[in-house]
Amino acid sequence: MLFINFLADIYASRRLLLNLAKDDFKSRYMGNHLGMLWAFIQPLVTIAVLWFVFTVGFRAAASDGVPFILWLITGMIPWFFFSEALQNSTNAILSNSFLVKKVVFRVSLLPIVQVTSSSLIHLFFVGVIVLLFFIYGYTPSIYWLQVFYYFGFTVILVLGISWITSAVVVFLRDLGQLIGVIIQLGFWLTPIFWNIGMVPEKYQYLIKLNPVYYIIQGYRDSFIYHVGFWEKPLLSIYNLVIVMIFLLIGSVVFKRLRPHFADVL
C-alpha cells in the first residue's frame, strides 16, 4: 500500500521530478567545454580501454561464441547505470537541501531525480547496444524487450538502497566515500568483464547472491542468450524478495530520519 502511494506521488510530481532531473543532468557538467557530452564520453572510453586490453593485450576470445565487445558492453552498460545512479542518489538529499524544508514536497522522491537523470544516459547506451548488435549481423528478438524488466528492477533496487544511504549520509558524510569504495569492489567482484564459469561451480552461488549479478546476466540473457527471466524462477524470486526487503528497510530508515534532516542541513 505504501509503495502504491509512493507511485501515486511520483505520478503527481512527474513534471517537477523531470525538471529537477534535467537540471541535475545539466549542472553535473556545467562549466565544461564539452558539457553534457562527458556523460557519454567517459563510459565509451572505459569500454574502449577494457576492450583493447582484453582483446588486443590478453587476446580474449569470443565468449560463448559471441564477439567479446558485445559480451562486454552488455555487462558494462547496466553496471554504469547501477553505479552512477546509486552514487548520485546517495547524495540526493545533500544536493537538494533547499527542498528539504519545503513541507509540500515529499523528500523521499529526491533519489528518483538522480535515478531519472542517470536513466537518460542509460537509455542512450541501450540504443548503442542495439546498434552494435545490428552492425554484427544480429536480428532483433522478442527477448530484447525484457531488458526493460531488468531496467525497472535496477531502478527499484537503487531506490531501496538509496533511501537508506541518502538518509544516513546526511548524518554520516563519510558514507558517501564508503559507497564509492564498495562500488569499486563490486566492479571487480561482479562478472562484468569476466565469466562466472571461471569460478568453481560449488562457489558460483555466492556470486549469484549479488542482485547486481542478476541485472548483468539479465541484460546478457536478453541480448545474447535469449533466456527469459521466467526460465530462472528461483533466481528471479530471490532477487525480487531482496528488492522488497531493501524497499521496506529503506522506507523505515528514511521515515525515521526524515524529521531530523533540516536540523543538520
The confidence score (pLDDT) of residue 60 equals 59
Question: How many domains is the chain partitioned into structurally?
Answer: 1
Rg (CA), the chain: 19
Of 215 and 125, the structure prediction assigns the larger pLDDT to 215
Residue range 69-98: mean pLDDT, rounded = 90
Instruction: Decide if pLDDT at 120 tops 60.
Output: yes
Q: Which domain holds residue 100?
A: 2-264
* Per-residue pLDDT tens digits for 168-190: 999 999 998 999 999 999 999 99
The confidence score (pLDDT) of residue 241 equals 96
Residue range 152-160: mean pLDDT, rounded = 95
pLDDT band at 36 (very low <50, low <70, confident <90, very high): low
* Per-residue pLDDT tens digits for 122-141: 998 899 899 989 988 999 99
The Cα–Cα gap between 39 and 43 comes to 7
The confidence score (pLDDT) of residue 209 equals 94
Q: Which three cell numbers stand for residue 1?
A: 500500500
The Cα–Cα gap between 218 and 226 comes to 10
The Cα–Cα gap between 122 and 242 comes to 23
Instruction: Decide if pLDDT at 105 tops 60.
Output: yes
Residue range 133-160: mean pLDDT, rounded = 94
What is the residue-wise DSSP string for the chain?
A: -HHHHHHHHHHHTHHHHHHHHHHHHHHHTTT-SSGGGHHHHHHHHHHHHHHHIIIIIS-PPPBTTB-HHHHHHHHHHHHHHHHHHHHHHHTHHHHTHHHHT-TTS-GGGHHHHHHHHHHHHHHHHHHHHHHHHHHTTPPP-GGGGGHHHHHHHHHHHHHHHHHHHHHHTTT-THHHHHHHHHHHHHHHHSSSSS-GGGS-GGGHHHHHTSHHHHHHHHHHIIIII---GGGSHHHHHHHHHHHHHHHHHHHHHHHHHGGGHHHH-
pLDDT band at 6 (very low <50, low <70, confident <90, very high): low
pTM: 0.87
